Structure 1
Amino acid sequence: MGLFIPQQLLGQQTNLKGRVIHADGQPLFGAIIKVEGATQHWVTDSAGSFSLKVTGIHHRLTISHVGYKTASKHIDAGAGFIEIKLQPLNTQLAEVVVKDSHADDRRASESMNVEIVDKDFIRRNLGGSLMATLSRLPGIKTIGIGSGQSKPLIRGLGFNRVVVADKGIKHEGQQWGADHGLELDQFAAQEVEILKGAASFMYGADAIAGVVDVKPTLPPKANSVGGSIDLIGKTNNNLYGTSVNLYGRNKNWFFDSRISYQNYGDYAVPADTVFVYDYAVKLHNKRLRNTAGHETGLHLDAGFIGSKFRSVFYVSNVFSKSGFFANAHGLEPRRVDTLLHDRSSRDIQFPYQQVNHFKLINRSQYQAGRHLLQADLGYQHNFRQEYSQYVNHGYMPANYPDTMRIPQTLERQFDKHVYSINLRDKILLGSHELNLGVSAEHQNNNISGWSFLVPAFKQAAAGAYLYDKIRLNDTWLLHGAIRYDYSRINISGYSDWFLSEGTRLSRANSMSRTFNSLVWSAGANYTPGGVLSIKANIGKSFRVPIAKELAANGVNYHYFSYERGNPSLNAEQSYQADVSLNLNAGKWLVVLSPFYNYFPNYIYLNPTSAHDYFYGAGNQVFEYQQSRVMRYGGELQIRYQLTPAISAEALAEYLLSRQLSGAKEGYTLPFSPPPSVLFNLTYQTQGEGRSAKPYFSVDYRITAAQNNIVPPERKTPGSQLWNIQAGTQLKWFNRPLNLSLQVQNVFNTRYLNHTSFYRLIELPEAGRNIILSLKVPFGDSRL
């Protein structure tokens, strides 16, 4: 009888159930489980779970995943539920990227250059906006205006050449203007992933330069209720703000809410006089009059999380109101009422802007065997208004008519509704990881106001792609992708509301254009298992011309220029080669990332010798044209661990652009960032007693002069800048309190930023700024 039972078990099938998790306890999707002696292998689902049917009593399991150390485990039949934890490979840079398992996985499995930052990086490097915070990373810059508005540049390219995705949906505002910031709350950002290079094969049109992907926060752990309070203050513009988070979850259902508010005054520069087109403007208390503002963010995430199915709704509403520097926005600098503006540093007078961005997103996914099905549905409403005193040009009446239904102070209004859908399927087939998907988007943008620059339009786009990752062995990982996109834009005609020589002149004709493109990407990861790893990627991307480039016809008050669109523009094409060499040898870590980029038909705004007197009061005419453009450069990151607590780091970047044809042949491109290098020294150790993880960090950035310009740009002198970051984690009633301190521009240096909007009028960047932030959690902590 004693021999009968083992013999019976040896020939009987049993189920082995369990799950695979990250080192931080989160489930690990896509881990491969092999049983010694079996020809079949199993893959974990989105909950990290697996169920194996095996024959016999004793089994040896091998569990592997890209970016993790392979684990082996002996299991006996009837062992019950098994939990296996995989440890990440530790080959990451400190402060530039996060050291968590997800980040390791993404970098190891991508052939493109990827930077990943988490909430700790954001807290340590808080800027005036989320995009300004990310500008510490090599290859990332911003076009900034004032203290709260900025948009990203990736390797010198920005505006509609960079896709900003929020929770899987492409963020759509009025991102074509330098003064049009992105309506994103940096307090609500859990993790941000930056892809450098041609990424149209996954994200569609506009991802020529790369992608800034803002990830959703992780759901709370089961059966928990908690939250946190963030407090922040800044000395330069007397900013104060707070963000309150509250979350809760039972086994499957959860909610996560946040309210953020910031209020700031006019910001200070290390100068008492600036020159606006050669006119000397005196600054009261060295502050830029009318750059105050405030912003509010409301967020609610709620949904269901099961073992195979999850569905989450994300609702947000971000509102901001901020002034434009009164001496540099459509007003004659000599006519500014300085007594009115200088009475208070916190009031918002004309000219100013207010923007409200509402967003509703649903992300659902279902694990069906080897398939991970995902659907992202999104609706966005971007409502932007710019207010200013009435300024007449050309034949515009000297006095604003009483019969106009448009308010006299409403200069421009943009009202955009966007509907989006993304459908994806991730399939694991042996050594292949297939990703296939379709996406569609519809935009409807209406305009109003007494000033005209761009017409109303409707735009529809759809695309489909197939992306395959092939793991040949532990050393080689191959990538290949192909995508097709179709887009159609219908532009509404526009005629002046006033008479010009007895008739209402047409500023924009009705127009309909269609564009389509086939793009591709190919790459390889070589990881021999020693100190060296190499990634390479080549690809093609494209971008559809926007309404401004096709049909602009009016004064841009931010530039004192007259802009004219070109209805015959073709879709912009881009070819790029990207390499990343990673050397990890003991205390040294070196990452070199060169790239080459070629545009056969780059779209740019070309200044002409003409001046417009019908609409633009004699302003110089700028026209959109296309030319061949070549760009190359790269980033270099070097880190050395001096002691277990002290590290030194250097982050360098270089970019060269050249127009190969057209009216500006031989010149560079506008807003091309100059070479720069950031030296960092960091002290960080585990504290004892009431403190933990204290850190102190010093940044010293050297920026070269930018003499390689395209007229009418001006040359920008070089600069040297010091920043300090410090912080610690304190214990209070067994709760970790995160305290962070920054000193930006320590020595109050006067310098110009070549990628800043205000650099056009030789306006220096903000002076010394001391930032203090405190995060106080309460209730149950998150995983």
Structure 2
Amino acid sequence: MHLKTLVAAMCAVTLSPVWAATELPRVSVAETADQKMQPIEITTSTSLSLDKAEQQRNATTSLGAALSDLPGVNNLGAGSQSGKPVVRGDTALRLPVLSNGMAMDYQAEGTRHNPNVDPVLADEVEVIRGPQGLKYSSQAVKGAVNVQGLKIDYAAPGKTDLKGEVVGEVNSNNNEHMLGLKAQVSSSRLSLVGGVTQREGDNFVTPKGTEAGVVNMGEPAGNLPLVTGETPYTNFKNQAASLGLGYQDDWGKVELRHTYWQSKQNYLGVESDGPGQPFELMAAAGQVLTNQETQLKAEWFAGDWVIKPQVSVTRNSREAAHDVPFEEMSSLPRADILDLLVKRTELKLSAEHPEVAGWRGEFGASGFDKTQDLRSGELSPSATEKGQGVFVVEKRAFGKLQIEAGARWDTQDVKAPVDAHFADVYNETNNEQSFADWSGALGAAYPLDSQWTVTANLGRSFRAPSIFELYAGGAHGGVQAYQLGNPNLKAETSVNSELALTFQASHLQSTFAVYSNWVDNYIVLENTGRYRYAEGTTDEGQVVLDVNNPTGIYVPEMQSQQTTALIQGAEWSAKYQTTSRLLWKATAEVMQGRDTVKNRELPLMPANNASLQAQYTFANLGVLASPSLGLKTRYVAEKKSAGLYEPYSQFDKTPFGTASTPDYWLWEVQAGTDLKLGKQALQLDLTVQNLFDTQYRDFLDTYKGTAQGMGRNVKLNVRMPFGV
């Protein structure tokens, strides 16, 4: 009933359903008259992004949380330290995360592996899909997240500009704080931009409530959390830096960028010595993720052509230790640390061509060379990947009808040298795999009149299995499971379709979209029903033959399997500018993912949800420029676990925790203003999250098995722009 009530309220406010794309700008100091909304640019390829004010307010170390206000986007998270976006049910290896249009390789196979980005140092983060996505990846036709680095701007001829801002953030819940600096100096030809952030957070705190208490393995199932209040082993430290140099002339421009990102994280876990023994909280893993990336890109004008070469070189390392927090990892022998180093070089050359028979577009080729080096530990072997691709994307108008079409061909080769540790996963007969297939998309947009536009998209995508999905074989400390690859996996192929109707007037924008995604050879990491002894035990890695009489601590075994999947859903959001000062926003999402072979739910599908937000901007109050006050509520429906192959499904059977989650409703208050200090203005945004300190557990929260969602949090974002 809660969801129906909220949806009805949204309908009354917005008058029509929506798939919104663009947020409104901050109301100008001078605006007192009626304000019209900026029109949505409707194309066959969808691009969604937060506006600057919303992006700054959502500043966080979690990319998933930063984007979760966008319709159709959810967060697969672990407290405030870790979160990756989920777009229409796709995440991790199925959802490419791009850095300035180039692949971001962040060892995405884990549910808690953060993309290598601090959103504070991003000029824009956008969700893209449709034919334009084929420029970047064979999967991006379904959806991709593109992180644009700090923008390289140039001064007017004969001038030199210096501008930037100091940024800061504090959070009351976990004493999280961030301090950063962004600056740029530029002439009309040359520009240098840079930024740095330092972020640290303590253990997060959940609402106090009834706990499961002392419970033993084998006792009847229960759903009370094992811990409330301060949640141990959830602290983290992050740092990031970015430096960019650009040069432009009449012939074109060239940009060189380098970024550094590091995250030190702890993850809470639980263990028991066996049946009849108590469950205890422990540090499931300490982890240090480090990424360095160098990019060089150029645009060269050759008459009416634009030639665009790009190269990206990344070095990504992951160090993790079982049962040890990151603060103690330096004291361990290297043999006790999982140390995976990934090096990737990607090249891309494309060209935008002038109009030919009414068609304009871009074509090109790309290739990458990736090396994964297992320097110590287990889990995933040393291996190599090589890939090549060619693409073309074209668009043309036929009267009012806009048509966009694209195609792409990719090949990928994977090789893992034979390793005795992984002998029960692969050998010399199946340690090399080759994949090749095509992707394509066709989109159309047609304005029915001056206010209504209909768009349609049909696409096919291709994804080759990763090194991890093919050849993994070891304990994964962060998720407390023993995970196995499957060298017999085939490439995933999918056919996806979307139909959307958009309405926009001077004060109201709305769109409704329905979509369907059919996936052959859908890869899932499924619980096998067996258990393996945990790291550090006498029989480490061996199958537990008798779970009623084990010889040590054990964890569930999971292996990559394949099925056929169907993901369908509808998305709705709206913006209604009732007056020049009062703005309403609303979103709703309903979706379902099914394993059509075994007639069951797919794992890690978001729960149905809806939100409603009102924001009022006041007239200037002395030194306070355009102060605003907002109220937001979000309803999330209950969600049942998909069963045995749902990650964390074991918590539907333990005497505490849950894999299935009940519905919940959260409230949030927002306030913001610009504090005028002479010629400068201090920008302040205050947000009170989980206003009523509600107890809840989100279906995509990886801590739902032991703890609750974060309690009330007062968050203050501060920005001080400067410039000469």
TM-score if structure 2 supplies the norm length?
0.84
* Whole-Å separation in 2 of the counterparts to 1:599 and 1:429: 36
Q: Which residue of 2 aligns with 1:548?
A: 468
2:52 to 115, 119, 140: 119
Deviation of the 1:444 alpha carbon: 0.4
Matched, 1:653 2:589: yes
Name the aligned partner's letter for residue 476 of structure 2.
N
Change (3 A) 1:560 1:197: farther
- Whether 1:245 aligns to 2:182 is yes
Deviations 1:247-306 (A, max 9, x none): 1012211101111101111111114646899678865x8211121121111111112122
Distance 1:540 1:267 in 2: 42
Residue 571 of structure 1 pairs with residue 503 of structure 2: no
Alignment of 1:121-520 (within 5 A): 121-196=54-129, 201-207=134-140, 209-222=142-155, 223-271=160-208, 273=211, 283=227, 286-327=229-270, 351-389=285-323, 407=333, 410-429=336-355, 431-450=358-377, 452-473=378-399, 475-496=400-421, 508-510=426-428, 511-520=431-440
In the alignment, which residue of structure 1 is the partner of 2:445? 525
Distance 1:331 1:455 in 2: 30
Of 607-616 and 436-445, deviating more is: 607-616
Letter in structure 2 aligned against 1:386: A
Question: In the alignment, is the contact (CA less than 8 A) between 1:200 and 1:541 conserved in 2?
Answer: no
1:3-36 Cα deviation digits (max 9, x unpaired) = xxxxxxxxxxxxxxxxxxxxxxxxxxxxxxxxxx
- Counterpart CA distance in 2 for 1:656 and 1:591 is 20
Is the contact between residue 112 and residue 195 of structure 1 (CA under 8 Å) also seen in structure 2? yes
Segments of 5+ residues of structure 1 without an aligned counterpart are 1-90, 339-348, 392-404, 497-503
Secondary structure, counterpart of 2:107 in structure 1: coil
User: What is the root-mean-square deviation of aligned Cα atoms in Å?
Assistant: 3.1
Distance in 1 of aligned mates of 2:100 and 2:265: 26
Please give the alpha-carbon distance, in whole angstroms, between the structure 2 residues aligned to 1:740 and 1:609.
49
Query: Would the aligned equivalents of 1:275 and 1:762 in 2 still touch at CA under 8 Å?
Result: no
Aligned to 1:49: none
Give the stretch that moved more between structures: 286-295 or 558-567: 558-567
Percent identity reads 22
Q: Partner amino acid for 1:545?
A: P
- Matches of 2:84 and 2:485, distance apart in 1: 22
**Which residue matches 2:220?**
none
Q: Is the 8 A contact 1:555 1:616 kept in 2?
A: no
Match of 1:682 among 594, 610, 615: 615
Report the Cα offset of residue 409 of structure 1.
7.0
> In 1, Cα distance between the equivalents of 2:124 and 2:297?
17
1:768 corresponds to: 712
Q: Is the CA contact (8 Å cut-off) linking 2:388 and 2:411 kept in structure 1?
A: yes
CA offsets, 1:601-633, max 9 Å, x none? 211122234444662453443222211111110
TM alignment of 1:609-620, pairs within 5 A: 609-612=529-532, 615-616=541-542, 618=544, 619-620=555-556
- Distance in 2 (alpha carbons) for counterparts of 1:491 and 1:105: 52
Which deviations, in whole Å up to 9, do the C-alpha atoms of 1:315-340 show, x marking residues without a partner? 111111111115479999969698xx
Question: 1:604 touches 1:626 (CA, 8 Å); kept in 2?
Answer: yes
Cα distance change, pair 211–736 in 1 and its aligned pair in 2 (3 A): same
Q: What residue identity is the alignment partner of 2:435?
A: F
- SS at structure 2 position matched to 1:758: coil
> What is the rounded CA distance, in whole Å, between the counterparts of 2:63 and 2:376 in structure 1?
30
Match runs of 1:623-772 below 5 Å? 623-661=559-597, 665-684=598-617, 687=620, 690-707=623-640, 709-711=642-644, 713=649, 714-759=659-704, 761-772=705-716
Is the CA contact (8 Å cut-off) linking 2:63 and 2:85 kept in structure 1? Answer: no
Larger-gyration structure (1/2): 1
Shift in Å, 1:413? 1.1
CA offsets, 1:354-412, max 9 Å, x none? Answer: 11100100111112222111111110000110023589xxxxxxxxxxxxx99267331
**d(CA) in 1 for partners of 2:362, 2:670:** 41
Q: Which moved more, 1:363-372 or 1:680-689?
A: 680-689
Instruction: Output the CA distance in 1 between the equivalents of 2:127 and 2:40.
Output: 11
Aligned-partner residue type, residue 179 of structure 1: R
Partners of 1:316 and 1:706 lie apart in 2 by: 39
CA contact (8 A) 2:425 2:486 kept: no
Does the CA contact (< 8 Å) of 2:225 and 2:708 recur in 1? Answer: no
> Take 1:248 and 1:628, find their aligned partners in 2: how far apart are those partners?
53
**Distance (whole Å) between structure 1 residues aligned to residue 39 and residue 288 of structure 2:** 37
From 569, 579, 587, give the equivalent of 2:507.
Answer: 587
- Between the aligned partners of 2:614 and 2:296, the Cα distance in structure 1 is 43
- Distance in 2 (alpha carbons) for counterparts of 1:612 and 1:176: 20
Structure 1 residue 139 displacement after superposition: 0.8
String of CA shifts for 1:429-484, please: whole Å, max 9, x gaps. Answer: 1632121011111110111334x2221110011100111110223x2210111110
In structure 1, distance between residues paired with 2:146 and 2:109:
19
- Aligned match for 1:108, one of 31, 38, 41: 41
The residue aligned with 2:550 is none
SS in 2 for 1:324: strand
Tell me how far apart the structure 1 counterparts of residues 313 and 482 of structure 2 sit (CA, whole Å).
Answer: 34
- Deviation by residue 1:90-140 (Cα, 9 ceiling, x = unmatched): x9969747699xxx9996363133212233221122344232110111111
TM-score, with normalisation over the residues of structure 1? Answer: 0.78
Classify 1:495/1:106 alpha carbon distance in 2 versus 1 (closer, same or farther; 3 Å): farther
Q: CA deviation at 1:777?
A: 1.3
Query: Is residue 539 of structure 1 aligned with residue 459 of structure 2?
Result: yes
> CA separation in 2, counterparts of 1:657 and 1:125?
29
Number of positions where the alignment pairs a residue of Structure 1 with one of Structure 2: 650
User: Bigger shift: 312-321 or 598-607?
Assistant: 598-607
CA separation in 1, counterparts of 2:273 and 2:86? 26
Check if 1:622 corresponds to 2:555.
Answer: no
